[in-house]
């Protein structure tokens, strides 16, 4: 008999290597002190890997909204909106998000991952083709698989390569969906949206922009990359998540398409999953209103991002991209040195993400930081100082060898 889990033995060996280096991927937050600090392994630790871009997770109005929803609506919805019906607050949140984005329709999903599954599988089918940036998130790839559509990958952030692939497939009879991301989650770079829109005008496809890491972050209205580029009207579909800037659990799809609402009855991830819990919906609604009312949070995030970006670059570290972004990735030499640096940083009092192949573009080994509007200047400077200390330690070891 073949043991179904035998195929994971190499993965298990990698996880053991992490533990032997001193910790484990996804360490336990024993207590949260604020949006930017937690007790990890008994130590007060700066959180620089949580994607809490707007720092709203401890805002009083969000917390109180969640408490009130628990008291009035209970702990969960116990079924899908198709089967059990919607709560009024589900529709209220959809209206808030549509208004925030300046779009006519919005559909809320139970997670951000599920939002991509639901949108891809609802929009595209076996006769259609999805053109996908090669560095797209796993949820987008999985959504493409679920859709049954033909998948064509184009080189990362390369409109000319997309143009070439579209030209080769003219008159194939099906619909064509092109999927981009506002901010790519590993390296922090952005899609050159204006150039892609020129390709769209030439070929006439429909465009979906995943604004998971850019919603609330980019643009004069905080709507994301399409907002920043002044091209909201060119984005046929927007996808986003609650787990970043909104500080909750859930996701959404939005559009001005007159038939968009039909996805509620065509997208299986929406139809057959329990709807988001009352507390999650209430906190998300409060957070969206807060972001709309306090655009200065985006200014603070931009300042914090620039401070960390230039500080790490000043140490001679090789970063994921040349553009200031709240996602700042430090490239490392190999998996072993990445694990060592990550553990040293954690022991010194800062938590960052460790990102290793195959979950990274180009098989890169990364230490990935995510910046929050709630970080203080002192916390940003402390992160830089700890990286400096770890780099100096690494250099001393290398010199000794």
Tell me how far apart the alpha carbons of residues 45 and 50 are, in angstroms, rounded to a whole number.
12
Query: Residues with Cβ < 8 Å from 5, sequence gap 6 or more?
Result: none
What are the backbone dihedrals phi and psi of residue 358, each rounded to the nearest 5 degrees, phi first?
-90, 10
Q: What is the DSSP letter of 318?
A: P
DSSP assignment of 244-306: STT-SS-EEEEE--TTGGGGGGT-HHHHTSPPPPHHHHHHHHHHHHHHHH-THHHHHHHHHHH
pTM for the full model?
0.94
Tell me how far apart the alpha carbons of residues 286 and 225 are, in angstroms, rounded to a whole number.
23
Q: At what angle do helices 112-123 and 138-147 cross, to 10 degrees?
A: 30
Q: What is the pLDDT of residues 328-355, one digit of tens each?
A: 999 999 988 898 899 999 999 999 999 9
Q: What is the pLDDT of residues 142-157, one digit of tens each?
A: 999 999 999 999 999 9
Tell whether the torsion through CA atoms of 205, 211, 216 and 220 is positive or negative.
negative
What pLDDT does 22 receive?
66
pLDDT of 401 higher than 60: no
User: Residue 231 in 3-state DSSP?
Assistant: coil
Q: What is the pLDDT of residues 160-188, one digit of tens each?
A: 999 999 998 877 789 999 999 999 999 99
Q: What is the pLDDT of residues 62-76, one digit of tens each?
A: 999 999 999 999 999
pLDDT of 11 higher than 90: no
The helix (H) or strand (E) run that includes residue 153 is: strand 150-154
Q: What is the pLDDT of residues 356-381, one digit of tens each?
A: 998 899 899 999 999 999 999 999 99
Tell me how far apart the alpha carbons of residues 347 and 45 are, in angstroms, rounded to a whole number.
9
What pLDDT does 207 receive?
98
254 within 8 A of 286, measured Cβ to Cβ: no
Closest by CA position to 217, among listed 207, 209, 208, 228: 228
Domains delineated in the chain: 7-47+295-400 (3.90.1150.10), 60-293 (3.40.640.10)
pLDDT of 275 higher than 70: yes
> Quick one: average pLDDT of 260-282?
96
The helix (H) or strand (E) run that includes residue 328 is: strand 327-332
pLDDT of 398 higher than 70: no
> Quick one: average pLDDT of 48-63?
97
Distances (CA, A) of 376 to 31, 309, 352: 20, 15, 16
User: Which of 18-22, 278-282, 335-339, 353-357 is most confident?
Assistant: 278-282
pLDDT of 219 higher than 70: yes
User: Residue 235 in 3-state DSSP?
Assistant: coil
Tell me how far apart the alpha carbons of residues 122 and 101 are, in angstroms, rounded to a whole number.
21
Tell me how far apart the alpha carbons of residues 277 and 78 are, in angstroms, rounded to a whole number.
9
Closest by CA position to 120, among listed 94, 146, 151, 81: 146
SS3 content of the chain, % helix, strand, coil (to 5): 45, 20, 35
Tell me how far apart the alpha carbons of residues 390 and 224 are, in angstroms, rounded to a whole number.
34
The helix/strand count (H/E) of the chain reads as 14, 14
């Amino acid at each position: 008999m073949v043991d179904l889990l035998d195929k994971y033995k190499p993965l298990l060996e990698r996880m053991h290597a992490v533990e032997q280096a001193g910790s484990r991927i996804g360490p336990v937050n024993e207590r949260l002190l604020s949006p930017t600090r937690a007790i990890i392994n008994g130590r007060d630790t700066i959180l620089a890997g949580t994607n809490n871009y707007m720092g709203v997770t401890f805002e009083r109005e969000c917390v109180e909204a969640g408490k009130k929803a628990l008291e009035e609506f209970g702990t969960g919805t116990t079924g899908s909106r198709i089967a059990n019906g919607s709560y009024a607050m589900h529709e209220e949140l959809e209206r808030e998000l549509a208004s925030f984005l300046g779009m006519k329709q919005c559909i809320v999903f139970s997670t951000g991952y599920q939002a991509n599954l639901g949108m891809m599988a609802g929009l595209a089918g076996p006769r259609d083709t999805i053109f996908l940036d090669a560095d797209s998130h796993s949820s987008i790839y999985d959504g493409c698989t679920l859709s049954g559509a033909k998948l064509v990958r184009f080189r990362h952030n390369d409109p000319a390569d997309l143009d070439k692939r579209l030209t080769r497939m003219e008159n194939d009879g099906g619909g064509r969906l092109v999927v981009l991301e506002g901010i790519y989650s590993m390296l922090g770079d952005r899609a050159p949206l204006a150039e892609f829109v020129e390709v769209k005008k030439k070929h006439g496809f429909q465009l979906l922009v995943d604004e998971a890491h850019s919603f609330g972050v980019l643009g004069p209205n905080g709507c994301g990359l399409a907002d920043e580029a002044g091209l909201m009207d060119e984005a046929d579909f927007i996808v986003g998540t609650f787990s970043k800037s909104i500080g909750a659990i859930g996701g959404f799809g939005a559009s001005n398409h007159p038939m968009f609402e039909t996805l509620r009855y065509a997208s299986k991830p929406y139809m057959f999953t329990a709807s988001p819990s009352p507390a999650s919906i209430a906190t998300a609604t409060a957070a969206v209103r807060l972001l709309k009312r306090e655009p200065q949070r985006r200014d603070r995030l931009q300042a914090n991002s620039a401070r960390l970006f230039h500080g790490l670059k000043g140490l001679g570290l090789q970063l994921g991209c040349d553009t200031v972004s709240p996602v700042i990735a430090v490239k490392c030499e190999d998996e072993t040195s990445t694990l060592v640096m990550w553990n040293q940083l954690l022991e010194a009092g800062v938590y960052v993400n460790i990102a290793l192949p195959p979950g990274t573009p180009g098989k890169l080994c990364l230490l990935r930081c995510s910046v929050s509007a709630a970080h203080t200047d002192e916390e940003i400077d402390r992160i830089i100082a700890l990286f400096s200390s770890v780099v100096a330690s690494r250099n001393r070891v290398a010199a000794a060898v």
